[in-house]
Amino acid sequence: MKQDQNKSSVSTRIERDTMGELAVPAEAYYGVQTARAIENFPISSLRMPRAVIRAMGMIKRAAATVNQALGLLGKKPAEAIKQAATEVVDGKLDAEFPVDIFQTGSGTSTNMNTNEVISNRATELLGGARGSKLVHPNDHVNLGQSSNDVIPTAIHIAASEMMQQQLLPALTRLHKALKGKAREFDTIVKIGRTHLQDATPVRLGQEFSGYARQIELGMQRVKQAQEALAEVALGGTAVGTGLNCHPKFSAKVMAIISKETGCSFKEAKNHFEAQSAQDSLVEASGQLRVLAVSLMKIASGPRCGLGEINLPETQPGSSIMPGKVNPVIAESVTMVCAQVIGNDVTITVGGQAANFELIVMMPVMAYNLLQSIELLATASHNLSVKCIEGIKANEDGDVHGAGAGDRL
C-alpha cells in the first residue's frame, strides 16, 4: 500500500502484533514493534550507541549457535540468523536502529528492534518476504531470551569491550608519556605549593611522577570495573527464574562471546540480583568518575599561569589578542571530566530505579556509561599526543614566580 508522508509517497507494508495493525516502511528490516516505538518515543536525537548494537548482534549470533547445538533451533533458520546477526555486528544494518534512548526502561524496544531486523534479514536470506516472519523475531531470534536479561548483558559486553579496546590503550599511552616526562624533568627543582601558597622545593619530575601514578591507578580501576561487569544477566529471562531458557544456554553463549571479545564474561551467580539491580554499572561508572577526577587534576597541571612548563602551541587563543595561545587541549580534557562526572550522577539515579524484579532505566544508563568510556579514551589519547608528549620545562622561567629554572 501507499502512505503519504511529508507530501512524498512512501511505500509501506502492513504488519500485525498483539495491539493490531500498523504500517511499516516496505524497505525497512525493522518491524511493527519498532515502528510503534518510533511513534511512542519522539523524545530526542539520541540513539543506542553502536557498541550496544554490536553487542546485541553478538548475543543473537551466539544464541542461534547454541540453540542449534542444543537441538532447539533448526539448521536453516540458525544459519540465516547467524549471517544476519553478523551484519548487525559489522554495522551494515545500523540505519535500521532508529529507536530513541528515552524509551522502555528495560530496553525492550531495542531488543525487539534487534529481533525484527535479524528476523527480516534472515527471512530474506531464506527467500522469504520482509514481514512474513519465516524466521520469527520471538520464537527464533529471541529463543531462550528476554529483553530483561539481554539488554543488561549487552551493556556489560559493550562497556567491557570498549574499556579493553579503547580506554586502556589510551591510558597506557598517557601513563607512558607522563612517566617519560617524570624522568626528563627529574633534575629540575621548582617550588612546591600547598594551600595556594609557596611551600618547600620539589622536583618537576616528582610532580609528573604523581600524575603518572594517578593514571596507573586509573588503569587498575578500569580493570576493576571490567571485573564488576563480568557477571551477566543472560539466562534469567523475565524475572530471573530462567523461564523458557535451557539451563546450559547462558554459559555456552557467554563462552562464545568471551572468546570473540577477549573479555571475560560469565553467567551471574544470582539472576535475581543481576536483573533487579545494576550495581555493577553503578560501580563501573564510579571507577570512571575517579579517573575523570584524576584527569581533571592532571589537566589543571603545574602550569596554572606560573609559566613553569611550556605546552605545545596548537591554535591561536584569542580573536582580540593576536599571538595569545591558550592551553586548549587541557581545557578540552577538563570539560570531558565534567561530562563524565555528570554522567555518573545519571547512572547513579538510574541504579536507584530498581523497581521490584527489574531495573527500568537501562537505556539511559547504557548511553551515559558508554559515552563516558569513549570520552575518557579519546581525551586521554589526545592529551598524550597533543600536550603531554610535547611539554618542555621552562628553564628560563620567572624566578620570582618560582619558575622551573634550577637544576640539582
How is 122-188 classified by DSSP, letter by letter? Answer: HHHHTTPPTTS-SS-IIIIITTT--HHHHHHHHHHHHHHHHIIIIIHHHHHHHHHHHHHHHHHTTTE
C-beta neighbour count of 42 within 10 angstroms:
8
Q: Which of 384, 368, 383 is nearest to 159 (CA)?
A: 368
Which cell is 276 given? 533487579
Residue of 8, 9, 195, 400 marked catalytic: 195
Instruction: Tell me the backbone φ, ψ of residue 21, rounded to 5 degrees.
Output: -95, 150
* Grid coordinates belonging to 134: 519465516
Return all residues near 328 (Cβ < 8 A) that are at least 6 apart.
314, 315, 317
CB-side exposure of 12: number of CA atoms within 13 Å? Answer: 17
Q: How far apart are the first and last CA of the chain?
A: 84
How far CA 55 is from CA of 46, 61, 110, 111, 321, in Å, comes to: 18, 10, 12, 11, 49
**Relative orientation angle of helices 147-162 and 204-229, to the nearest 10 degrees:** 160
- From the list 11, 44, 264, 318, the catalytic residue is 318
- For cell 547467524, the residue is 82
**What type of residue sits at position 205?**
G
136 is catalytic: no
> Which cell is 282 given?
553503578
Examine the residue annotation and report whether 147 is marked as an active-site residue of this protein.
Answer: no
In angstroms, rounded to a whole number, what is the distance separating the alpha carbons of residues 303 and 394? 10
Q: Which residues are catalytic?
A: 195, 318
